[in-house]
Structure 1
Amino acid sequence: MFQKVAIIGGGAAAATLASELLERRTRQPLHLDWYTGGPVAGRGVAYGTPSQRHLLNVRAASMGMFVSKPGGFLEYAQSLDPTVKGSDFLPRRMYGDFLQSRVQQAVKNAGSFGHDVNIVPFAAESIIPSDDGIVIGYGDESSRADAAVLAIGSLPPRPLPGVEDAAIASGRYVTDPWPFLASAELDERPLRVLVIGLGLTAVDVLLELSTRWPNAHFDALSRHGKLPEPHLAAASAPHDDGGELIESMRDDPNLRVWMRRLRDATELAEDWRTVVDGMRPHTQSLWRDLPMRERSRFLRHARWAWERARHRMPPQVAAQVAALEAEGRFTRSRGRMRSVRLSLEGSLEVVHALPGGGDSTDAYDVVIQTVGLNTDTQRTEHPLVRQMVIDGIATPDPLGMGFAAVPDGHLLDGNGRPRANLFAIGSLLRGALWESTAMPEIRKQAQGVADMLLAEENARAAAR
């Protein structure tokens, strides 16, 4: 086994892996250095929101932290409120509390297994492979580990092309919505707000700001102008567990063929959601079957449709958004943003291309970017990721989906070879797995990486 392991990241994926490791009895004690990037470990961006309005988009019964205990979160929620049901969509804040409580328990139990835990409240800034392991730099300090795991979540969002520096400097163009939401105060002015993107983050922004800014009007701009689909009010069983459909897709890994077969399957199903849910256990293996040119085609043409069908809104959230539209406080438009500039009057002038041709220009008080996860390791300013790419320690995924990796989590070096003692879990593996951001996948990855870290043969391979 690797006796000294470093986990880099402070969110749910890191918390799950840390707990997985610390709850195991091993032949030799484990020393764990956990670089959390801040004083609070476990919540990350996803579950750090304090708002009760921000709900999980997965039912409570499926949000357990461990493969061996998928109902753990439901048990925790019911200990606080016995009326909670497994089909409920609960606040993400509660899930953050659950993660923190489980991490605290795992750290407390570590001593009984002989394990030693060192929680480092700083961000790792460099990784340097050495003859006897990996050296991790943070600030003016460094520490050695036998193996390291990157669990840093998505990368910091970057402004979209066409946004002028003056617009960003004004504070009116918001690249990262989460710090902005955390500090937004009650404002009764008749503000005009533009949200760029229409995924689940855009929905969170709308729900929060429409309450704090009761007289504001919200426009949303996206390529197709469509919101995420809603979940069914009641849980339903997946359609045929995807069996026949999956086999037919494996026989011909071609995007056009797949889309046609998906349409045929949804026409036969009682509800299309059951078809998508039936594919869930097979999505990663289907992605691996898809040639690179077909993956690229999917990202260009079908990704938006899959995302809105796969990552759905809780029914009560969909109802709230529909009410905002019905009240005239929220409108959606199709188009592509071309530029954002700061006007002489201090507003933001946004130019966007219309679907039928031509451009439209509108003025806004605030523009908020909500275009989804950033996983482009080639272009990020994230200090650690940038250092790893420049020094050839890891290879960017060719489609901008995190790092090139073996599906089990081993990162590839600058020559395309797997590194025996450097792993990733979570969103940095989207290029290898595609489905790699939700807890059902995260907990399986954490279990698999923990197995490898504690296996004798991997330590011997790293020493060769």
Structure 2
Amino acid sequence: MYRRVAIIGGGAAAAALLSELLERQLPQPLHLDWYTGGGNSPRGVAYGTRSDKHLLNVRAASMSMFAARPHGFLDFAQRGDGTIAGTDFLPRRLYGDYLDTEVQRALEHAQKAGHDVRVLPFAVDAVVPEGHGVTVIHGEDNSRVDAAVLAIGSLPPQPLSGVTDAALDSGHYVTEPWNFLAHAKPDTRPLKVVLIGLGLTAVDVLLELSALWPNATFEAISRHGLMPEPHLHQASAPTDDGSELVESMREAPYIRQWIRLLREAVAQTPDWRTVVDSMRPHTPSLWALLPDTERARFLRHARWAWERVRHRMPPQVMATMKALEDAGRLHRRRGRLQAVDVAGDKLHLDIRLPHGKGVETMDADLVIQTVGLNTDVRRTLHPLIRQLSTNGHVTADPLGLGVSATTEGRVKHGNDAWPHFYAIGTLLRGVLWESTAIPEIRQQARNLADRLVKSEK
């Protein structure tokens, strides 16, 4: 087994891997350095919110941190409130509490087992993977480890093309909505707020700001003007395991054919959600069948549709969104942002309309970029990823979906994979596609922990 391991990143994926490693019965003590990037909490961006309006998009019974303890989160939640059911959509704040508790338990277990664990609330400056180990550099400290794991989550969002420096400097264009929400204060002014993007991040922004700013109105702009679909009020199980559909897709790995097969399957079921959910365990293997040309076709033409049916919102959240629309406070528009600049004390936007209908202009008091996760290693300003890319230690996924890697998570440099340098979570989206939700991350953590504690080859 690896004796010295470094985990780089402070979110849920890092916490899951840390706990998987420390709660195992190991033949010898482990030396583990956990670089959390700041603070000691594993909440990360996803579960760092303190607002009870921000709910999990997966039912409580499916949100355990451990594959071997499938009801872990539900048990935790019910200890605080016995009325909670496994079908409930609970606050993400509560899930952050659960992560904190599990990490603390793992650290206490590690101390009793004689493991040497250092929780380092710092960002890593550089990583140098080599054939027989990895060097992790923080400030003046160089630490040589047997294996290192990148678990940094999504990359910092970058302003969209067409946003001027003046707009960014004005403070009225927000690229990081979560940091903005954490410091937002009540405001009764009749503000006009424009959201660029209509996915789950936009929904969370609307939930919070519509309550804090009761007189504000919101314009939400996206390519198709559609919000994520809702979950059903009652949990539903797939009518079958989806094997027939999946086998048909395997035989014809082309996006156009897959769309046709999915439409046929949906037409034969009472609810389309059962078809989508039956595919979840098979998505990585199906994604692996697609050549880059077909993956690019999916990203151009079908990604938006898949995301809104795959990553759904709780029904009570959908009800809130509908109430905002019915009250005239939320307006959804189709279009693409072309330009944003300062116009007096407001921002001026140019929106390109679909189907060649020209450009619409509008002014706003505030523009918030809510386009979802950033995984483009090629254009990121993240210091560690830039160092790794500049030095040729990682290769970017050609479609901007994280880093090139093997399906086991070994990071690639060119056509070769480092033997002792791994990634987990969002950075593996290019190789696995589904690699951001807890059900996928906990399985990755378990599999990676298995590899790290096996005999080194």
- 1:12-91 → structure 2 map (5 Å cutoff): 12-91=12-91
- Give the equivalent residue in structure 2 for 1:419: 418
Residue 322 of structure 1, CA deviation: 0.3
Equivalent-residue separation in structure 2 for 1:450 and 1:40 (angstroms): 21
The answer to whether the aligner puts 1:173 opposite 2:173 as a matched pair is yes
2:311 alignment partner AA: H
- 1:317-336 → structure 2 map (5 Å cutoff): 317-336=317-336
- Give the equivalent residue in structure 2 for 1:206: 206
- Give the equivalent residue in structure 1 for 2:337: 337
1:348 alignment partner AA: L
Contact conserved, 1:148 with 1:423, CA < 8 A, in 2?
Answer: yes
Residue 132 of structure 1, CA deviation: 4.8
Equivalent-residue separation in structure 2 for 1:130 and 1:451 (angstroms): 21
For residue 239 of structure 1, give the secondary structure of its aligned residue in structure 2.
coil
Contact conserved, 2:349 with 2:363, CA < 8 A, in 1?
Answer: yes
The answer to whether the aligner puts 1:359 opposite 2:350 as a matched pair is no
Equivalent-residue separation in structure 2 for 1:99 and 1:289 (angstroms): 35
For residue 331 of structure 1, give the secondary structure of its aligned residue in structure 2.
strand
For residue 368 of structure 1, give the secondary structure of its aligned residue in structure 2.
strand
Contact conserved, 2:130 with 2:418, CA < 8 A, in 1?
Answer: no
- Give the equivalent residue in structure 1 for 2:97: 97
Superposed CA deviations along residues 218-248 of structure 1, whole A, max 9, x for unmatched, are 0000000000000000000123121110011
For residue 241 of structure 1, give the secondary structure of its aligned residue in structure 2.
coil
Identity, % of aligned positions: 60
2:445 alignment partner AA: A
- Give the equivalent residue in structure 2 for 1:231: 231
- 1:180-219 → structure 2 map (5 Å cutoff): 180-219=180-219
Residue 131 of structure 1, CA deviation: 6.4
- Give the equivalent residue in structure 2 for 1:113: 113
Deviating more after overlay: 353-362 vs 150-159: 353-362
Contact conserved, 2:219 with 2:332, CA < 8 A, in 1?
Answer: yes
Equivalent-residue separation in structure 2 for 1:48 and 1:168 (angstroms): 25
Residue 289 of structure 1, CA deviation: 1.0
Equivalent-residue separation in structure 2 for 1:430 and 1:131 (angstroms): 25
For residue 93 of structure 2, give the secondary structure of its aligned residue in structure 1.
helix
Residue 144 of structure 1, CA deviation: 1.6
- Give the equivalent residue in structure 2 for 1:386: 386
For residue 38 of structure 2, give the secondary structure of its aligned residue in structure 1.
coil
Deviating more after overlay: 37-46 vs 185-194: 37-46
Residue 39 of structure 1, CA deviation: 1.2
The answer to whether the aligner puts 1:249 opposite 2:249 as a matched pair is yes
- Give the equivalent residue in structure 1 for 2:307: 307
Equivalent-residue separation in structure 2 for 1:122 and 1:423 (angstroms): 20
Residue 26 of structure 1, CA deviation: 1.2
Contact conserved, 1:296 with 1:399, CA < 8 A, in 2?
Answer: yes
Deviating more after overlay: 96-105 vs 415-424: 415-424
Contact conserved, 1:335 with 1:355, CA < 8 A, in 2?
Answer: yes
Q: Give the unaligned 5+ runs of structure 1.
A: none
Equivalent-residue separation in structure 1 for 2:90 and 2:191 (angstroms): 30
Residue 112 of structure 1, CA deviation: 2.5
1:451 alignment partner AA: D
Contact conserved, 2:177 with 2:205, CA < 8 A, in 1?
Answer: yes
- Give the equivalent residue in structure 2 for 1:147: 147
Equivalent-residue separation in structure 2 for 1:416 and 1:29 (angstroms): 34
Equivalent-residue separation in structure 2 for 1:65 and 1:308 (angstroms): 24
Deviating more after overlay: 81-90 vs 132-141: 132-141
For residue 134 of structure 1, give the secondary structure of its aligned residue in structure 2.
strand
Residue 41 of structure 1, CA deviation: 2.4
Equivalent-residue separation in structure 1 for 2:364 and 2:94 (angstroms): 34
Equivalent-residue separation in structure 1 for 2:117 and 2:405 (angstroms): 27
Superposed CA deviations along residues 319-338 of structure 1, whole A, max 9, x for unmatched, are 00000000000000000000
1:247 alignment partner AA: E
Equivalent-residue separation in structure 2 for 1:407 and 1:222 (angstroms): 32
For residue 52 of structure 1, give the secondary structure of its aligned residue in structure 2.
coil
Tell me the TM-score normalised to structure 2 length.
0.99
For residue 241 of structure 2, give the secondary structure of its aligned residue in structure 1.
helix
The answer to whether the aligner puts 1:369 opposite 2:369 as a matched pair is yes
Q: CA distance change for structure 1 residues 113 and 256 in 2, over 3 Å: closer, same or farther? A: same
Equivalent-residue separation in structure 2 for 1:395 and 1:449 (angstroms): 20
Deviating more after overlay: 108-117 vs 7-16: 108-117
The answer to whether the aligner puts 1:430 opposite 2:435 as a matched pair is no
Deviating more after overlay: 23-32 vs 135-144: 135-144
For residue 215 of structure 1, give the secondary structure of its aligned residue in structure 2.
coil
Equivalent-residue separation in structure 2 for 1:219 and 1:310 (angstroms): 24
- Give the equivalent residue in structure 1 for 2:128: 128
Equivalent-residue separation in structure 2 for 1:145 and 1:51 (angstroms): 39
Equivalent-residue separation in structure 2 for 1:339 and 1:220 (angstroms): 16
Contact conserved, 1:58 with 1:89, CA < 8 A, in 2?
Answer: yes
Residue 281 of structure 1, CA deviation: 0.7
The answer to whether the aligner puts 1:289 opposite 2:296 as a matched pair is no
For residue 83 of structure 1, give the secondary structure of its aligned residue in structure 2.
coil
1:423 alignment partner AA: Y
Equivalent-residue separation in structure 2 for 1:220 and 1:140 (angstroms): 46
Residue 133 of structure 1, CA deviation: 1.9
Number of residue equivalences = 456
Equivalent-residue separation in structure 2 for 1:241 and 1:85 (angstroms): 25
For residue 117 of structure 1, give the secondary structure of its aligned residue in structure 2.
strand
Superposed CA deviations along residues 248-267 of structure 1, whole A, max 9, x for unmatched, are 10111010000000000001
Equivalent-residue separation in structure 1 for 2:131 and 2:188 (angstroms): 61
Deviating more after overlay: 133-142 vs 391-400: 133-142
Q: CA distance change for structure 1 residues 269 and 147 in 2, over 3 Å: closer, same or farther? A: same
Tell me the TM-score normalised to structure 1 length.
0.97
Residue 116 of structure 1, CA deviation: 1.2
C-alpha RMSD of the superposition: 0.9
Equivalent-residue separation in structure 1 for 2:33 and 2:208 (angstroms): 36
Equivalent-residue separation in structure 2 for 1:431 and 1:210 (angstroms): 35
Equivalent-residue separation in structure 2 for 1:350 and 1:40 (angstroms): 40
For residue 10 of structure 2, give the secondary structure of its aligned residue in structure 1.
coil
For residue 399 of structure 1, give the secondary structure of its aligned residue in structure 2.
coil
For residue 430 of structure 1, give the secondary structure of its aligned residue in structure 2.
helix
- Give the equivalent residue in structure 1 for 2:407: 407
Contact conserved, 2:52 with 2:92, CA < 8 A, in 1?
Answer: yes
- Give the equivalent residue in structure 1 for 2:346: 347
Contact conserved, 2:4 with 2:30, CA < 8 A, in 1?
Answer: yes
Equivalent-residue separation in structure 2 for 1:371 and 1:452 (angstroms): 35
Contact conserved, 2:129 with 2:420, CA < 8 A, in 1?
Answer: no
Contact conserved, 1:239 with 1:277, CA < 8 A, in 2?
Answer: no
Equivalent-residue separation in structure 2 for 1:314 and 1:376 (angstroms): 29
Equivalent-residue separation in structure 2 for 1:149 and 1:383 (angstroms): 16
Equivalent-residue separation in structure 1 for 2:129 and 2:274 (angstroms): 46
